[in-house]
Amino acid sequence: MFPSPSLPAATVPLDRAGILVGSFLLLLVGAEVFTNGVEWLGQRLGISESATGSILAALGTALPETLIPVIAILQGGSAADDIGVGAILGAPLLLATVAMFLVGASAYLFAGRREADEAVRYPPESTERDLSVFLFAYVLAVAAAFVPSHLVSVGIAVVLVGLYAVYVHRSVRSGDLVDGDDMDDHYLGKIVERGLGAAGIESERDNGSDPHSLLVGLQTLLALGFIVLGAQLFVTEIEFFSETVLSVPAAVVSLLLAPLATELPETFNSVLWMARGSDTLALGNITGAMVFQSTIPVTLGILFTSWDLSLQWGTTGFLNALSAVLALVSAGLVYRRVRSADGRELRPAPFLLGGVLYVGFVAFALYAVLVLGASTV
């Protein structure tokens, strides 16, 4: 085994702590503005509510965590491979456990203001499709780490990209159009209306309740900018504090802390949608992101990193493999419950199990680092 890392006493710089808090608030604001913008974007593009959550919301909020391994791979360096692999594997773990937990917890927390009370309403076809694609794709991705042939690994990567393309095509063709009457006024449109009113200009349309398509696109892009900037700042500061104050391995930082920061948009968006009773968008945002994370980023990992998943005890590769197994277990439990429900409303309990699995993983990761001195091989 490896020696346990020490935890040196360090003074926390106030300016870095301020940036950390500020980046977190920027993520919150970006998530709120994005949820509003992407609902209107889906309505303007004429695609279904389930596709709006599974594709538009999921792709947009997946950008921050996808950029981390890309940047790490491009920059290179001694820790680049560890950061890339950890960030890629950490995202599905967070989505399948913590994000699912928050769906169930939000159903309980906001029961008094929701039409469905504590029940979780979902589109059976798209939810089953998302979870089944995730389970199939992620099993393939994990298997790629253990096959001896590089050619087979490349073949798996090609299959994963093709699988996501088919998934997007089927998602866009399914479901019903988002109803504009059920959505909140467009934020940027309301600001424009107030500005025109203050200037004494009479508008031909109410851009709050019927925003121009340019305003819809602009707000969505601005919100994405907030999310990407906030996530990048948050990850930078988290890594600084981890390395300076805690001295933990880069692989563990990228597996636990980086995804925790970059997956905040998905979790915040889904909590906001659950509070508003938009369960389809809330759940589709998470399951759609899970499909994306189990296909496109893992393809980058298979092709351009060591894709370090191993069964060797006391290594970060073992932690990586365990994170993948727990993500599959958590998603599998929800998938089994969705199928057995046969379209009926779900109780929040199956979603809450993900939180238990994640807490257990964090506890083991801390044990592996502090007691076993886990390191890369």
Gyration radius of the chain over CA positions: 21
The predicted pLDDT at position 235 comes to 67
The predicted pLDDT at position 131 comes to 95
Query: For residue 31, what are its two tokens?
Result: 């998530």
- pLDDT tens by residue, 12-71: 678 888 888 888 788 778 877 887 887 788 777 776 655 665 566 666 666 666 767 777
Q: Is 343 exposed, middle or buried (0-12, 13-18, 19+ CB in 10 A)?
A: exposed
Compute the half-sphere exposure of residue 315: CA atoms within 13 Å on the CB side of its CA: 12
pLDDT in tens, the chain (377 residues): 444 444 444 456 788 888 888 887 887 788 778 878 877 887 777 766 556 655 666 666 666 667 677 777 776 655 677 778 888 999 899 999 999 999 999 988 888 777 767 888 888 888 899 999 999 999 999 999 999 899 999 999 999 999 999 988 887 776 544 444 456 788 998 898 888 888 888 777 888 888 888 998 899 889 888 877 877 787 677 667 766 766 666 667 777 777 776 677 667 778 888 888 888 888 888 888 899 899 999 999 999 888 989 888 878 889 999 999 999 999 999 999 999 887 788 888 889 999 999 999 999 988 887 787 765 54
The predicted pLDDT at position 4 comes to 44
The predicted pLDDT at position 109 comes to 87
Q: Tell which residue, 126, 54, 121, 124, has the closest CA to residue 339.
A: 124
Q: For residue 298, how many other CB atoms are within 10 A of its CB?
A: 29
Q: Using CA atoms, how far apart are residues 255 and 88, in angstroms rounded to an integer?
A: 8
Q: Do residues 321 and 141 lie in contact, with contact meaning Cβ atoms separated by under 8 Å? A: no
- Number of residues written out for the chain: 377
